[in-house]
Amino acid sequence: MVRPKLSILNYWEMDRDVLEELRHKMKDNVTRRFEEYRKTVFDAEAYARFAVSFLEWRRRFIAAKKASAARTRWAKEEEKRQAAATAAAKAHAASQKRNKKSLGDG
């Protein structure tokens, strides 16, 4: 049977592109939810639900952001390292060429 594979993904597992597409599609829903939130008066249970859920999400959000920044930093450093290694290899090749030439002249 040919059926595209269906799976349940969440906010943390999605690719950035998919997330951005969803963000665009759900813009109105988010706005509606935000407006509802601003009208809400929280009793003890509502506050507990919201606070626990929000703080857990925020902790993970900050960790994910830090991890993403570290990945970007590492990628940039790796790029620099590679560029430096290439430049060193080129310089080495050039100096060898010069050495050969000077030996030949001598």
What lies within 8 Å, CB to CB, of 9 at 6+ separation is 18
Among 38, 102, 104, 106, binds other proteins (CB under 8 A): 38
Residue 1 interacting with other proteins (CB under 8 A)? yes
Largest CA distance in the chain: 92
10: left (phi over 0), alpha (psi -120 to 50) or beta: beta
How far, CA to CA in Å, does 91 sit from each of 86, 87, 102? Answer: 9, 6, 16
Residue 94 interacting with other proteins (CB under 8 A)? no
Contact string (CB under 8 A) for other proteins, positions 5-34, x = contact: xxxxxxx--x---xx--xx--x--xxx-xx
> Which residue from 19, 30, 33 is spatially nearest to 64, judged by alpha carbons?
19
Q: Which is nearer to other proteins, 28 or 105 (CB)?
A: 28
Among 16, 17, 53, 101, binds other proteins (CB under 8 A): 53
Contact string (CB under 8 A) for other proteins, positions 56-85, x = contact: -xx--x------------------------
Distance of CA 98 to the CA centre of its chain: 45
Which residues make up the interface to other proteins (CB under 8 A)?
1-11, 14, 18-19, 22-23, 26, 29-31, 33-34, 37-38, 40-45, 47-55, 57-58, 61
